[in-house]
Amino acid sequence: MKIAILGGTGNIGKGFALRWGQKHDMIIGSRNAEKAEKFAAEYRDILKRQGYNANITGSDNKNATEEAEIVVIAIRYNQLRSLIDLITPVIGKQIFISVVVPMEKNLCYISPNAEPRTIPITSDQFNADYFCFTMPEAGSATQEIENMLPAGTELASAFHTVPAKKLADLELELDYDIGVCANSEYSKKVVFGLIKDISRMRPLDTGPLEAAAMLESLTPLIINVAARNKMKDISIKFI
Ligand SMILES: NC(=O)c1ccc[n+]([C@@H]2O[C@H](COP(=O)([O-])OP(=O)(O)OC[C@H]3O[C@@H](n4cnc5c(N)ncnc54)[C@H](OP(=O)(O)O)[C@@H]3O)[C@@H](O)[C@H]2O)c1
């Protein structure tokens, strides 16, 4: 399959490129095509040292979207609007996957329309930052993306609980459960396949796209647990 990673030069993008680049054609998307090509060359080199002759190219985000069958949205929540506006003219039959988590450090909202409350970290015995899920009006970043995309666009939500550092470390097998929700059974099935392509990852069906809020909100929880319990880059497993 031809997979584009929008924001593929970033933390989580690297891991996807290295894992899926072993089997699929990858297009690293960036706001800057030259930067994308530079990162694509770096990822190819890493995989070459592991014995893979990977087909990883770099392009700007719009071209990457146009060329791909699967498009992973791997940028930060507050950058979504401009990216979706940019790629909308070239959206057709691609399946989109959002890994986006709307969260803030030390700033929480009781509801999307409420005044935010700053969390005073100095009173915390661990003196660690506290991450909050900042629920968008649509319920989740994924549902907000669905509202921005042309009607009928295939969209799934997954991978929110995967730590970027471990995804990019090819020495590691990732015995994680990956919750997936989607707006069609077809896109869910395709994402299940992509999860199974990563050694030991297990896809789990979490329901329709409306489940995205629950999936996305797991990330700040995991980060808070890690920070307060001297754990690093943890994920989840249902047992
Ligand atoms: N990091 C993790 O462990 C992790 C795990 C699960 C999910 N996620 C989610 O994945 C997403 C990306 O996280 P990340 O840590 O990979 O982020 P990141 O490294 O900070 O950024 C990813 C890429 O976003 C692009 N970017 C920056 N500003 C932009 C803008 N204004 N418009 C469009 N693109 C812009 C940059 O690429 P160019 O400069 O090349 O355009 C950058 O390389 C987030 O939504 C995060 O919640 C992250």
CATH of the domain at 177: 3.40.50.720
The verdict on residue 122 lying in a domain is no
Cα 23 to Cα 17, 47, 198, distances in angstroms: 10, 11, 10
Residues of the chain above pLDDT 90, percent: 88
- How much distance in Å is there from the Cα of 129 to the middle of ligand 1? 20
What atom in ligand 1 is closest to the CA of residue 163?
3
The verdict on residue 181 lying in a domain is yes
Tell me which residues have their CB closer than 6 angstroms to ligand 1: 7, 9-13, 30-32, 35, 74-77, 79, 82-83, 99-101, 159-160, 162-164
The verdict on residue 42 lying in a domain is yes
Domain holding 87, by residue range, is: 2-101+138-215
Q: Whose CA is nearest to atom 20 of ligand 1?
A: 10
Least confident of 85-89, 103-107, 167-171, 201-205: 103-107
Per-residue model confidence (pLDDT) at position 147: 98
Per-residue model confidence (pLDDT) at position 15: 98
Q: What is the pLDDT of residues 116-146, one digit of tens each?
A: 888 876 655 667 788 999 999 999 999 999 9
Per-residue model confidence (pLDDT) at position 86: 98
